[in-house]
Structure 1
Amino acid sequence: MTGFDAVLSQLRGLHEAELQAWIAEGWVRPEHQAGRLVFQEIDIARCRLILELREELEVNEAAMPVVLRLLDQLHATRRQLRRLAEALDASRSTPVER
């Protein structure tokens, strides 16, 4: 787990006010522990994604929530498909009783 300042030092180009805004918008969801924000690796990856979308793909702040929501939906669909494929594989390996 990583603290707020450590996240800022890890991610070049990310400023304190931006990270606070991203948290307020719900784009990044760190945990609150002992009165401070604690970031998991997934939170840091999300920050990297937002930076990449903004800097490399030039996604503006107005479009960012839409893009993030669509990416979240895509990842959720991929997880569901993976679970479905695993269930199908498991059912094929289980002998059918008659």
Structure 2
Amino acid sequence: MLTERDVVARIERVELRELRLWVREGWVRPAETRGGPVFDDLDVARIRLVCDLRKEMALPVDAVPVVLSLLDQLHGLRRDLRDLAGAVDAQSAEVRQAIVSAYKASKQDGEQNANQGSGTS
């Protein structure tokens, strides 16, 4: 666990006032202790991401929470998909094959519906 000053020393692109602002905005959510906030490896990765968004990509301040929210949703969906794949893998070969077949049929139906909606067949 790192203190604010440890983070600023480790990530030279962020200043202490910026880090505190990002915590207040909720862009980074460190654990709170009696001595103040402490940051783990995930917090440090997120701080680096915010640095990239703000400083390298010049993303406007009001767009940062939108991008962070979308990335959080994406990571959540990836985690859910990984868990679902694990649950499918735990099934018998017959059940796994039925799931694959149902998925492929559903995907084909979706593609056909999309083509009909766009006027192409």
TM-score when normalising by structure 2? 0.73
Larger Rg belongs to: 2
> Shift in Å at residue 36 of structure 1?
1.6
**2:71 pairs with 1:71:** yes
* Cα-to-partner distance string for 1:52-85 (whole Å, 9 max, x where unaligned): 1122222111100100000000000000000000
Higher relative contact order (CA 8 A, sep 6+): 1
Which structure 2 segments of 5+ residues have no match? Answer: 96-121
Q: Which SS does the other structure have where 2:37 is aligned? A: strand
Structure 2 match to 1:49: 49
Distance 1:79 1:57 in 2: 27
TM superposition outliers: structure 1 runs of 4+ over 3 Å: none
Higher fraction of helix = 2
More strand by share: 1
In the alignment, what sits opposite 1:83?
Answer: 83
Which position in structure 2 is the counterpart of 1:10? 10
> In the TM superposition, what is the alpha-carbon distance from 1:51 to its structure 2 partner?
0.5
Overall identity of the aligned pairs, in %: 45
Q: Secondary structure at the match of 1:85?
A: helix
The alpha-carbon deviation at position 92 of structure 1 amounts to 3.0
Match of 1:37 in 2: 37
* Matched positions, count: 95
Secondary structure, aligned partner of 1:29: coil
- Compute the displacement of 1:35 (Å): 3.0
Segments of structure 1 that go 5 or more residues without pairing to the other structure are none
